[in-house]
A and B are shown apart, each in its own frame.
Chain A
Amino acid sequence: MTAEIKLAKLSNGLELIGEHNPNRQSAALGFFVKTGARDETAKESGVSHFLEHMMFKGSARRSALEIAYELGNLGAQANACTNEENTVFYAAVLPEHFPRMQELLSDMLRPALEEKEFETEKKVILEEIALYQDRPQFYLFERALKDYFADHPAGNSVLGSNESISALQSSEMRAYFERRYSAANMTLAASGVFSWERFVKDAESQCGHWPSGTAQRVLSPYPARLTYREFRKKNILQTHVVFVSEGAAAQDEERYALALLALIIGDSTGSRFYWELVDKGLVESAGCDNDERDGLGVFMAYASLEPQNVEQVAGVMQRILKEPGSFSDAELERAKTKLVAKIVLNGELPLGRLMSLGTEWTYRRRAEPLAQVIERIRSVSRVEVLKALERFSLNTWSQYRLIPE
């Protein structure tokens, strides 16, 4: 292996992780901030995502336009994303632009949050909320998870609502920023062609003065709600169904077993759902996933289909989910081979590798070379999967449907 993972920590707590790989054409870097919808109060709903947008809207040293133009000058493939518990700012660049990109990204992470830009961007966020209202699967998932998690913050909406965003003040966003964007609550990661020594030195001068902070996340258990609910939406043709049950957390060793089970049950080729639902033309698509999060997880199985088939399809899904331990050794081996191939292919791109490194470190404070991850997946035995199923049975769930009105 030519790639080697290195770690460093600045005195203010900002952690650095990097995997230099000279056999690539590009470099990627990103800030992984441990904050998301889950860390918001009801009044702040949507602020994490809105704040992510504001990082592109000006810092103490640059205006919004200057940031946009500089990203353009660097030819940066840059973006950011926010989910329930992480906000990530990332960019892939040609190796010669890496130091300038690092300086730009670090500067962006100290936003000006200027009032006029705040009000303009608020309109963009309201447009984004409207856009997602027109996507049926998203519409269902957001409502299903909110209901499933009951009042637990894990069910918070990432985008927020028209009401919460319209009412949000820039002073509230500033307070949230100061509470969550402290050095000790984030990781700066890099991969591909770059110099580790320069990366650390530049991080020290660009981020070393950021306050360390005391951001915390309370990891409370959630009351698993077992229910059946239907939502209705006008003007759609397809029905959508999702089953939600307790899954493995990002810190649970069982996550390997559940990731493999998700492939056995719901992968897009050769899975149980494929043969019983897709191959027979009963659904437009079907899949499942163990969504590993901080201290908790959800296992979700979903399908989109013609309304008249909903009872039959939901019946088949329930039957498959009730007997997750009935897989053959060959099915398990195939799932392992698929997962390994997926990880290797994804890891060949600096941006793909960056995402695994940053996520791995954020959740587990672990830095594993790919070879080690692959070995761990290959070691999963039938006994290990069955043991995981003793803890996460997958056969007690909540079912949600979105039905054309």
Chain B
Amino acid sequence: MPDSQNITIETLSNGMTVIVEEINDIESVAYHLLIPGGIINDDPAFIGSSLIIPELTSRGAGELSAKSLSEAFDACGIRHSESGGHDRFTYRGSLLSSYLDEALRLTALMVLKPRLPAEEIAPIQSLLLQDIAAMMDSPARRVLVEMGLRYYPEPYNRSGYGTEPGIKACNGRQQRLDWERRYGAKGAVLSIAGRCQTKEVLKIVGRHFKEWGGEAESRPPFGPLPPHARHHIPFESAQLQICLACPSAPYGHPEYYAAKVAAGILSGGMCGRLFIEVREKRGLCYSVYARHSATKDYGALMVYAGTTPERAADTCDVLLEALRSLGGTIKADELSRAKANLKAALVIGEESSSARAASNAEDWWLDRRVRSLAEIISEIEAVDCRKVDEHLGAYPLNSFMSVTLGPKEIGA
């Protein structure tokens, strides 16, 4: 773990927050601009519009045509991407530190002065429709999308791929209006981490983003979850995909880290209960895992397994037994392994400048503050068996939404 982290946070007069973390023993620097919005804020007639806007902003901005813009990034070797997601727009990149000014200049051009050429919308629509087709061809990806559609309330249940009618309905005028209305500075977070000088970075950011105005979107209210049910989607494939979901602690909840540790005991590394029971002892699956995911509004535990149809019933029985029997049976060594895994994953996983930039931005966005690695580690340290059991009492693992995808329904 780094001895100390050098993090500065400033809010510009337009309401955009800038976070700079200096890490000067590496050569690279990374930026991560997060604008709240995304598919959950799309007009119901245009679900998927959020996927088109960022891509369209990259097709020419300010004085630069699409090709000149792309060449300007490539001339500096900047690895960048502009994307729309479930609840945000993201502009990110990693690069050698001497090109930071140019990277931020190009990003600001796309965000503030995109050309939004209407003739580029059709090719982007075609790409996005093909993304949907590729997802439909990949059962392991598709089952998670199908779960999201059924598990969450509208609009949080929307697929991250958008919908075919929504994408097809988008047009030049609608895209320009969407960009004008939704790309606002207030609420946006620009996070920079890596080799840099904070003072210099703040000057550069000010220069490129000071003209940006407006306010980013706020999140729609999160309604009640639909009741749990069993769903099967017939699909001809070699394996049956199984996905289970149930509520868990949201971000910022006092039990948030207990929920992370509980998921770690089930599924951390190669020693989680699910891996040991389902794969190591019985050889029922190649891939089996549980993930805790959370925002301020909700938390969920998602469990996945892929197995051949004739072994699906056994797999499901073992999975459910492992989940239901967790509370009250956690041993001290299991707890300490799950915590060791979480801590190591945090330090090792956040060693790159791009991971640091992303996680600082995310932290600010969720909680209006940036936690140091040391602070997160002490939160993990504080979790004990009692806290995990209390968490499992509040969020019991005994009722799930289930979605299966494959040639045969379990028990059929």
Of the listed residues A131, A135, A285, the one surrounded by the most CB atoms of chain B closer than 10 A to its CB is: A131
- A124 part of interface (Cβ distance < 8 Å): yes
Instruction: Report Cα–Cα, A146/B140, bound state, in Å.
Output: 26
- Distance in angstroms from A383 CB to nearest chain B CB is 22
Closest to A79 in B: B270
Across the interface, do A284 and B133 meet the contact criterion of CB distance under 8 Å?
yes
Q: Roughly how many angstroms separate A275 CA and B26 CA in the complex, as a whole number?
A: 33
Q: Which of A136, A282, A340, A342 contacts B126 (CB 8 A)?
A: A282
Contact between chains at A130 and B74 (CB < 8 Å): no
Residue of chain B at shortest CB distance from A279:
B123
Q: Which of A47-91 contact B (CB under 8 A)?
A: 56, 64-65, 67-69, 71-78
What are the residues of chain B within 8 A of A8 when measuring CB–CB? none
Q: Restricting to A339-370, which residues have a CB under 8 Å from any CB of B?
A: 339-342, 344-345, 348-351
**Complex: how many Å from CA A93 to CA B349?**
11
The complex places the Cα of A19 from the Cα of B329 at a distance, in Å, of 44
Within the assembled complex, what's the spacing in Å between the Cα atoms of A122 and B284?
10
| Distance from A134 Cβ to chain B, minimum over Cβ atoms (Å) | 5
Query: Contacts A92-B348, A235-B236; is A121 near B77 (CB within 8 Å)?
Result: no
- Which one of A76, A93, A238, A284 has the greatest number of beta carbons of chain B within 10 Å? A284
How distant is the Cα of A13 from the Cα of B339 in the complex, in angstroms?
Answer: 39
CB distance from A123 to the nearest CB of B (A): 3
Tell me which residues from 272 to 304 in chain A have a Cβ below 8 Å from any Cβ of chain B: 274-275, 278-285, 304
Asked if A72 meets B337 with Cβ closer than 8 Å, knowing A124-B286, A130-B308, the reply is yes
Asked if residues A281 and B124 are in contact (CB atoms below 8 Å), the reply is: yes
- A134 engages B347 (CB within 8 Å): no
A-chain residues with CB within 8 Å of residue B270 when the two chains form the complex: 56, 67-68, 71-72, 78
> A interface vs B, CB < 8 Å?
23-26, 56, 64-65, 67-69, 71-78, 92-94, 119-128, 130-131, 133-136, 234-238, 269-270, 274-275, 278-285, 304-306, 330, 333-334, 337-342, 344-345, 348-351
Q: What residue of chain B has the Cβ atom nearest to residue A348's Cβ?
A: B26
Residues of B with C-beta under 8 A to A136: 137-138
Cβ A94 vs Cβ B347 within 8 A? yes
Q: In the complex the two chains form, what is the Cα distance from A346 to B352 in whole Å? A: 9
The answer to whether B28 touches A348, judged by C-beta atoms less than 8 angstroms apart, is yes
Which A residues are CB-close (under 8 A) to B136? 237
CA distance A236 to B133 in the complex (A): 8
Residues of B within 8 A of A (CB): 1-2, 25-28, 59, 66-67, 70-71, 73-80, 94-96, 122-127, 130-131, 133-134, 136-140, 235-239, 268-271, 275-276, 279-287, 306-308, 311, 333, 336-338, 340-345, 347-349, 351-354
Q: A25 touching B347 by the CB < 8 A rule?
A: yes
Please indicate the chain A residues that have their CB under 8 angstroms from the CB of B70 in the complex: 269-270, 274
CB distance from A360 to the nearest CB of B (A): 20
How far apart sit A283 and B74, CA to CA, in the bound complex (Å)?
22
Measured CB to CB, the closest approach of chain B to A69, in angstroms, equals 5
B241 nearest CB neighbor, chain A only: A134
Q: List, in ascending order, chain A residues with CB within 8 A of B306's CB.
A: 127, 131
Q: How far is the CA of A357 from the CA of B269 in the complex (A)?
A: 25
> Can you give 22 contacting A-B residue pairs, CB < 8 Å?
A56-B270, A68-B269, A72-B341, A92-B348, A94-B343, A127-B307, A127-B308, A130-B308, A131-B238, A134-B138, A134-B139, A136-B138, A236-B137, A238-B134, A282-B126, A334-B74, A334-B75, A337-B74, A337-B77, A341-B96, A348-B352, A349-B352
A345 touches B28 (CB 8 A): yes
A77 / chain B contacts, CB cutoff of 8 Å: 269, 344-345, 348-349
Please measure, in the bound complex, the distance between the C-alpha atom of A71 and the C-alpha atom of B338, giving whole angstroms: 11
Instruction: Rank and list the top 7 A-B pairs by shortest CB-CB distance, nearest first.
Output: A75-B344, A281-B126, A281-B123, A341-B77, A123-B283, A72-B337, A284-B130
Chain A residues contacting B122 (CB-CB under 8 Å) are: 281
In the bound complex, CA of A230 to CA of B257 (Å): 52
A76–B311 Cα gap in the complex (Å)? 31
Contact of B282 among A26, A120, A238 (CB under 8 A): A120
Q: How far is the CB of A159 from chain B (nearest CB, A)?
A: 10
A93-B308 contact in complex given A124-B285, A344-B96, C-beta closer than 8 Å: no
Q: Assuming A124-B283, A131-B286, A269-B80, is B344 touching A284 (CB within 8 A)?
A: no
Are A131 and B347 touching (Cβ within 8 A)? no
The smallest beta-carbon distance between B168 and chain A, in angstroms, is: 13
Which residues from A are CB-within-8-Å of B139? 134
Picked from A23, A127, A234, the residue with its CB within 8 Å of the CB of B284 is A127
> Which of B1, B280, B341 has a CB less than 8 Å from the CB of A75?
B341
Tell me, in angstroms, the Cα distance from A201 to B344 when the chains sit together.
26
User: A23-B26, A25-B351 provided; 7 other pairs, C-beta below 8 A?
Assistant: A56-B270, A77-B269, A120-B282, A123-B284, A127-B285, A127-B308, A341-B76
A-chain residues with CB within 8 Å of residue B282 when the two chains form the complex: 120, 123
Bound CA–CA A342/B237 (angstroms): 37
Q: Are B344 and A93 in contact (CB under 8 A)?
A: yes
Q: How far is the CA of A194 from the CA of B131 in the complex (A)?
A: 44
A23 cross-chain contacts in B, Cβ below 8 A: 25-26
Chain B, Cβ-Cβ closest to A370: B27
User: Which A-chain residue is minimally distant from B353 (CB atoms)?
Assistant: A348
Name the A residues within 8 Å of B238 (CB-CB): 130-131, 133-134
- Chain B, Cβ-Cβ closest to A333: B75
From B275, B308, B336, B351, A24 is in contact (CB under 8 Å) with B351
Contact B237 A76 (CB under 8 A): no
Verify A131–B268 contact, CB threshold 8 A: no
A120 adjacent to B348 (CB under 8 Å): no
Q: Name the contact of B348 in the complex, choosing from A94, A236, A282, A305 (C-beta under 8 A).
A: A94
A304 and B280 contact, Cβ closer than 8 Å, known pairs A69-B271, A69-B333: no
Contact A281 B96 (CB under 8 A): no
Chain A residues, CB < 8 A from B123: 279-282
Identity of the chain B residue whose Cβ is nearest the Cβ of A127 in the assembled complex: B286
Residues in A with CB closer than 8 Å to B236 are 234-235
Contact B347 A26 (CB under 8 A): yes
Contact B137 A75 (CB under 8 A): no
Q: Is the CB of A78 within 8 A of B124?
A: no
